[in-house]
Amino acid sequence: MRSWVRRSSGSPGKSGRETVLDIAPDPSLLRPASPGIRVCVPVYNDWACVASLLRGLDEVAAELDQPLCVLLVDDGSSEEAPARIEPPLRRISRVEVLHLRRNVGHQRAIALGLAYLHHQDGEYLTVVMDGDGEDDPHSLPALLARSRAQGHSKIVFASRRKRTEGWGFRIGYWLFRLWHVLLTGRCVRVGNFSLIPPHLLPSVVGVSEIWNHYAAGVHHARLPVDAIPIDRGQRLAGKSKMNFVSLVTHGMSAISVYGDVVGVRLLCLTGLLTVAAIAAMAAIVGVRFGTAWAIPGWATTACGLLALALVMLFTLAMVLVLFILQSRSLACFLPLRDWAFYVAGEETLHGSAVCVPRRRIGDLCTSSPLETLPGGAVAALHPRARLGGGSRAWGDDAGVASRG
C-alpha cells in the first residue's frame, strides 16, 4: 500500500494542514499474467491423428485466456510430416516439429521434447499428451483448473477413470498392473497426460529415469505430484503403431525405473526361500538321525534337491546385490545434458516465433548451467565444444527449415 501526502494551504498566519491518503493499488495491476501453454506430443507415422488432435486443441485454445503452442516430436518417422495444416489453425500460436535422428521410442521422445522445451526462453506451463487422441484435448481445461487451484505447485497427472480398449488389452493391462504392484509396491494409475509447472520442468529433465518412462520417473524422483480422474478418449484415426513387443517393452521400462526397489524385494524373497530350504533340510536330517520314525526313500532325493536349490538361491542373491550396487554407480543418460545428440533439426508448420522464440540447437546445447564449470568439464560433457561452431549437424541456420 502506498501513502500520498496532500498539503493544503492554511489561512494567513497559520501553517498548512497535511492529510495522509492511503491508496491501495489496483489488484489487477499486481496480478501476474497467466503463463502460456506448451503441448509436447510424440509422433511416429501418425500424422492423420495429429492433425485431428491439433484441431481439437485449437477448439480448446479458443476457451483459454493463455497463448497455446504445440511441439511435435518426430520420433524418426518414415512418413513425411505434412507441409502445412489444413484447415488453418486459428487459436494455436505456433506448431513446431522437432525431428529426431532415429526412432528412440515413445517415452524417450517425450524426454527429448521436454529437454528441448526447457532450453527455450520464457516460462510456460508444459503439457505432455499422446498424439492419438486417447488423451482428449478437451480435458486440458480440467488439468489447468486443478493446477491453478494448487497455485501451480505440483505436476498434475490424468488418472485413468475409464478405458475404451478391447477386452484383450484390458486383461493384459490388469495383469501388468498386478505384476507392477508385486514387484514395486506401487499401483499404476496414470499415463503421460500431465501438466508441468514452469518451476518444476528443470527438475523433470534432470531425472535420468524419464529416459525409460516419463510418469514412473517423475514418481520415483518424488517430485510433487497430484492426479485428477479423467476418462480416456478414443483413437482419432488409423491403428496404433505399438505392437505386442512394444507394449511389453513399455511395461518393462516402467518397472525398470524402480530397479532398486525390485532388486531389494527379490533379495528379500530369495532370503525367505533360503531360510525355508534350510529349515526343510534340517527337518529331514533331524527326523532321520534324531527319531525312530521311518523316512521314505524319496527323502534323501528331496534333501539333495533342496541343497541344490539353496546354492541357486545364494547365487541369485549375490547377483541381485551386485546389480543393485552397480545400478547406483552407472553413468546414466541425462536429458538435461544429452538431449541435443538425438536432435536432427526443427521446422515450423504453423505460426510465427511468438510462443517459443527460435534458438539454434547448437546454442541450446552449450547454454546449460554446466557452462559455469571449468573448461575441461564442459569439454567432457559437451563434445561440440571441441568441434567448433561450423558443424551443420548441430543445428546451423542452414539446417533449420521453416514451412509457412
Average pLDDT of the chain is: 76
Q: Is 99 left (phi over 0), alpha (psi -120 to 50) or beta?
A: beta
Q: Which of 295, 327, 359 is the last residue of a domain?
A: 327
The CATH number of residue 43's host domain is 3.90.550.10
Contact between residue 118 and residue 188 where contact means Cβ atoms under 8 Å apart: no
- Taking the C-alpha atoms of residue 123 and residue 126, their distance in angstroms, rounded to an integer, is 9
> Is the same domain home to 132 and 182?
yes
Helix axes 106-118, 244-256, angle to 10 degrees: 60
Q: Is 57 helix (H, G, I), strand (E, B) or coil?
A: helix
Kind plus residue range of the DSSP H or E element containing 18: strand 17-23
Per-residue confidence (pLDDT) for residue 11, from 0 to 100:
52
Per-residue confidence (pLDDT) for residue 302, from 0 to 100:
77
The answer, yes or no, to whether the previous bond of 335 is cis (omega within 30 of 0) is: no
Per-residue confidence (pLDDT) for residue 384, from 0 to 100:
35
Contact between residue 214 and residue 111 where contact means Cβ atoms under 8 Å apart: yes
Which of 1-10, 75-84, 321-330, 352-361 is most confident? 75-84
> Is the same domain home to 57 and 99?
yes
Q: Which of 236, 259, 282 is the last residue of a domain?
A: 259
Q: How many other β-carbons are positioned within 10 Å of the β-carbon of residue 219?
A: 22
Phi, psi dihedrals of residue 292, rounded to the nearest 5°:
-95, 10
Query: Residue 8: inside a domain, yes or no?
Result: no
> Is the same domain home to 320 and 308?
yes
Confidence class for position 163, pLDDT limits 50, 70, 90: low
> Is the same domain home to 104 and 130?
yes
Q: Which of 281, 299, 327 is the last residue of a domain?
A: 327
> Is the same domain home to 283 and 241?
no
The model's pTM is 0.71
Please identify which residue in the block is written with the cell numbers 520417473. 217
> Is the same domain home to 107 and 187?
yes
Phi, psi dihedrals of residue 4, rounded to the nearest 5°:
-120, 145
Identify the domain containing residue 307 by its residue range: 260-327
Average pLDDT of the residues in 137-164: 88
> Is the same domain home to 123 and 241?
yes
Confidence class for position 273, pLDDT limits 50, 70, 90: confident
Does the pLDDT value for residue 242 go beyond 50? yes
Contact between residue 152 and residue 196 where contact means Cβ atoms under 8 Å apart: no
Domains: count for the chain: 3
pLDDT tens string 104-143: 988 999 999 999 999 987 789 999 999 887 888 999 999 9
> Is the same domain home to 152 and 293?
no
Average pLDDT of the residues in 284-308: 75
pLDDT tens string 223-237: 999 999 988 777 777
Query: Residue 214: inside a domain, yes or no?
Result: yes
Average pLDDT of the residues in 369-396: 35
> Is the same domain home to 288 and 387?
no
pLDDT tens string 66-77: 889 999 999 999
> Is the same domain home to 101 and 123?
yes
Contact between residue 271 and residue 310 where contact means Cβ atoms under 8 Å apart: no
Identify the CA nearest to 130 among candidates 147, 146, 106, 108: 106
Per-residue confidence (pLDDT) for residue 87, from 0 to 100:
77
Query: Residue 21: inside a domain, yes or no?
Result: no
> Is the same domain home to 102 and 235?
yes
